[in-house]
Structure 1
Amino acid sequence: MVSIDEFRKLALSFPDATEEPHFEKTSFRINKKIFATFDEKNNHAVLKLNEIDQSVFCASSEKIFYPIPNKWGTQGWTIVELLRVRPEMFEDAFNTFV
């Protein structure tokens, strides 16, 4: 399980990362581009992964990582179930941004 505080700390650890509202969610951005969001209502995160990383994470844990079920999902936007994901696995997904 990953808490919002752990999520926030990890997201803001990237150089120049900022936290800003995005509709009903919280977004995390670098140079004004969103790389992750947090949906408090559904307790999940959405990460922008490249296609290869998305397929690896989704294949390894399809109940934890899965593409957004629309065109955004085909572009790498991936839902992460924060109540189910192990902190190490979540950090591994975030480290794909580096």
Structure 2
Amino acid sequence: MITLADIRGYAMALPDVVEQPHFRLPAFRVADKLLAHLEKGDAHAIVCVGQAEAGTAAADQPDVYEEVWRNGGRNGSRIFVGLRVDLAEVTGERMQELIEHAWRNRAPKRLVAAYDDR
């Protein structure tokens, strides 16, 4: 099972990531944008990957992944939040990959470019 320590290690290895609670739960941000957070009970995490990647993951492995949406958009529309990950079912390698994808999705383009150029 993936733990908070594992997620912290994956996230903090990326440039400019900070740990800052989200609704009093452990969370990680880049450029003040949420990229991953644990849910209450520590059995699931939400990673802020792109909508297409989340949809594909949830369709391929619905026992491991679920798209997360919330109400509250204009005209009562739903807003895509990210991908819920079952931490007992996902591998460490895949979780690390998802966190990097979330970072790339949320980090400023110049930061991603500098990271890729290293």
TM bucket, shorter chain: 0.7 to 0.9
4+ residue stretches of structure 1 with deviation over 6 A? none
- Which letter does structure 2 place at the counterpart of 1:61? Q
Normalising by structure 1, report the TM-score.
Answer: 0.84
Name the larger-Rg structure.
2
C-alpha distance after superposition, 1:20-67 (max 9, x if no partner): 111131110011111111125242110011111111211221111101
Task: Identify if the C-alpha distance between structure 1 residues 92 and 80 changes in structure 2 by more than 3 Å, giving closer, same or farther.
Answer: same
Residue 91 of structure 1, CA deviation: 2.0
Normalising by structure 2, report the TM-score.
Answer: 0.72
Q: Which residue in 2 is equivalent to 1:27?
A: 27
Q: Which residue in 1 is equivalent to 2:88?
A: 83
C-alpha distance after superposition, 1:50-89 (max 9, x if no partner): 1111112112211111012534985241111111111122
Q: What is the count of residue pairs matched by the alignment? A: 98
- Which letter does structure 1 place at the counterpart of 2:63? K
* 1:1-98 correspondence to structure 2 within 5 Å: 1-71=1-71, 74-96=79-101, 97-98=103-104
8 Å CA contact 2:45–2:87 kept in 1: the answer is: yes
The structure carrying a bigger helix percent of its residues is: 2
8 Å CA contact 1:64–1:85 kept in 2: the answer is: yes
State the alpha-carbon separation in 1 of the partners of residues 98 and 6 from structure 2: 14
The two structures, once aligned, show a CA RMSD in angstroms of 2.0
* Secondary structure of 1:75 counterpart: strand
Percentage of matched positions with identical amino acids: 20
State the alpha-carbon separation in 2 of the partners of residues 55 and 38 from structure 1: 20
* Secondary structure of 2:26 counterpart: strand
The structure carrying a bigger strand percent of its residues is: 1
8 Å CA contact 1:19–1:28 kept in 2: the answer is: yes
Task: Identify if the C-alpha distance between structure 1 residues 61 and 78 changes in structure 2 by more than 3 Å, giving closer, same or farther.
Answer: same
